[in-house]
Amino acid sequence: MKKKVIKNKNIIMFLLFVEFVVLCLLVYTYVNGSGDKNISMKGLLSQTKNLKEDSQISTKYINNRLYGVVSPFLKSFIKHEQLVYLCNSKKIDADIINNKTPVPQITKTPEKEKMKYYLFSLGYNSYNTECYIDSDISVSTGIKDNTDRNLIVKKGGELTFGSLRLVNDYVEDPIDIKKILNTPLIIKPQKADKPNILIYHTHTSEGYCLTEEDKLNNVNTSSDTEINVVKPGNIITQILNSKYGINTLHDVTVHDKGYNHNIAYDLSKKTISDILKDNDTIKLSIDIHRDGANIGNKKFGPIVTYNNKDYAQIMFVIGSDYDINNANPNWEENFKLAMLLNEKLQEKVPGISKGISMRRDPYNENVAEKGLLIEIGFNGNLVSEVSATAEILGEVIGEIFSYNQ
């Protein structure tokens, strides 16, 4: 009986010793933690105050932490850092439990779209442009003014400035070129799979001559698209689409058959507005016309001969912003584009451009982001002369709007 009491006493002493060791470990862990990177039990328990709404996770964390202190096996199975993550994230992450480092979710910053910027350099007698392709608007001004020359054209006035001839017969307010050019002309990148340019005709039936004899008759219109303004429109469209990859639409709706020419503008406005509703990527609309005049009983058809080839001349008509009921906030951008086209055309064929004619009416140049009305030739020009000019115009438009250079 005495031996049994001694044996039980030894067991009790052993259990008390074990409990004492465990208690010491818990106190040490509570105060100091189990390593430089670990959180102490004291700190851990203080965090549980913020985890009342998720008692399951906090309890799971504490239990594993306690077992981890006394059991090297459990401590190697679930690391302390993993349990801290589990507690702080308030969720059970399979990757964490399986010792996998979480892969950070990186959101790529979209690259800024590159733009073409055309800056105008003004000299005393002429101007030229410089082109930059950049993803930021790196220029605060679109003009390099190297002259103190006055470049303002009042109503009824005319200005010759290098290759440019500017005529203002209609606009009351003076046209100040320097003010207009104060910001760069910006050409946005084209969408290869969507239309970017629209070519159309308000006076679709305006015709040319096939032969010299045709200059003597009184016929000035035609429904034949091979001898009216649709012809140069087809040529320009084909060059932009095939050579420069600029997706271009050519609308050949007849707007002037049986109607007054002014009504034709209302009809063409509806046409292009409907097209733009379905093709919001179109940034430029070009209305192709031809001029008309007679000298005696003969149709007028002036030409420019260059490298043994005859070209009809071009005139840019820019409608301004003076019609209260039909405003044109884009007119200055259109003016800059016309100046750029004028320069590039004159470089290729000197004298091919007659310059810019300013008008009060916007002529539907306010419908798209940029809009131009371009007169190619006169009623007395031959189709061959008009076609030659259309090829040059198509090349210049392609060079300006294409980014593949």
Residues 183 and 37 in one domain: no
Mean pLDDT of 111-119: 82
Write out the two tokens for 378: 């006169």
- Distances from the Cα of 179 to the Cαs of 90, 116, 349, 362, in angstroms? 62, 21, 28, 20
Write out the two tokens for 281: 């990527």
Task: Please give the tally of structural domains in the chain.
Answer: 2
Cα of 311 vs its chain's centroid, Å: 34
Residues 17 and 157 in one domain: no
Instruction: Enter the DSSP assignment of 52.
Output: G
State which residues form the domain around 225. Answer: 153-401
Residues 162 and 55 in one domain: no
- For residue 146, is it within any domain? no
Query: What DSSP string runs through 161-204?
Result: ETTEEEEESS-SS-EEHHHHTTS-EEEPPP-TTS--EEEE-TTT
Packing angle of the helix pair 383-401, 230-242 (nearest 10 deg): 40
Residues 222 and 322 in one domain: yes
* End residue of a domain, out of 50, 80, 97: 97
Contact at 8 Å (CB) between 355 and 315?
yes
Please give the pLDDT value at position 156.
96
Gap between the Cα atoms of 300 and 122, Å rounded:
34
384 has a pLDDT exceeding 90: yes
- For residue 112, is it within any domain? no
pTM for this model (two decimals) = 0.73
User: In this predicted model, what pLDDT tens digit does every residue of 214-234 receive, in sequence order?
Assistant: 999 999 999 999 999 999 999
Mean pLDDT of 184-203: 93
310, β-bridge pairs: 305
74 has a pLDDT exceeding 50: no
71 has a pLDDT exceeding 70: no
* End residue of a domain, out of 97, 123, 143: 97
Residues 93 and 159 in one domain: no
Gap between the Cα atoms of 169 and 157, Å rounded:
7
Contact at 8 Å (CB) between 43 and 84?
no
- For residue 227, is it within any domain? yes
Taking alpha carbons only, the member of 163, 109, 164, 97 closest to residue 135 is 109
Residues 69 and 158 in one domain: no
- For residue 199, is it within any domain? yes
Please give the pLDDT value at position 326.
80
3 state SS of 349: coil
- For residue 114, is it within any domain? no
Provide the CATH number for the domain around residue 184: 3.40.630.40
* End residue of a domain, out of 62, 97, 132: 97
Residues 169 and 310 in one domain: yes
Please give the pLDDT value at position 119.
94
The position carrying tokens 């306690």 is 66
Gap between the Cα atoms of 287 and 363, Å rounded:
9
Contact at 8 Å (CB) between 314 and 354?
yes
Contact at 8 Å (CB) between 279 and 195?
yes
Gap between the Cα atoms of 97 and 85, Å rounded:
10
Residues 286 and 215 in one domain: yes
- For residue 186, is it within any domain? yes
Residues 244 and 309 in one domain: yes
Contact at 8 Å (CB) between 304 and 351?
yes
- For residue 127, is it within any domain? no
284 has a pLDDT exceeding 80: yes
Q: Counting beta carbons within 10 angstroms of the beta carbon of residue 120, is it exposed (0 to 12), middle (13 to 18) or buried (19 or more)? A: buried
What pLDDT band is residue 257 in, cutting at 50, 70 and 90? confident
Neighbour tally for 147: CB within 10 Å: 15
375 has a pLDDT exceeding 80: yes
Residues 180 and 316 in one domain: yes
State the chain's mean pLDDT as an integer. 82
- For residue 134, is it within any domain? no
- Distances from the Cα of 23 to the Cαs of 30, 43, 66, 83, in angstroms? 10, 18, 11, 22
User: In this predicted model, what pLDDT tens digit does every residue of 19-49 receive, in sequence order?
Assistant: 776 666 555 555 555 444 444 445 544 544 4
Residues 362 and 256 in one domain: yes
Residues 174 and 26 in one domain: no
What pLDDT band is residue 115 in, cutting at 50, 70 and 90? confident
Mean pLDDT of 327-345: 96
Contact at 8 Å (CB) between 143 and 165?
no
More confident position, 198 or 12: 198
User: In this predicted model, what pLDDT tens digit does every residue of 337-372 receive, in sequence order?
Assistant: 999 999 999 999 999 999 999 999 999 999 999 999
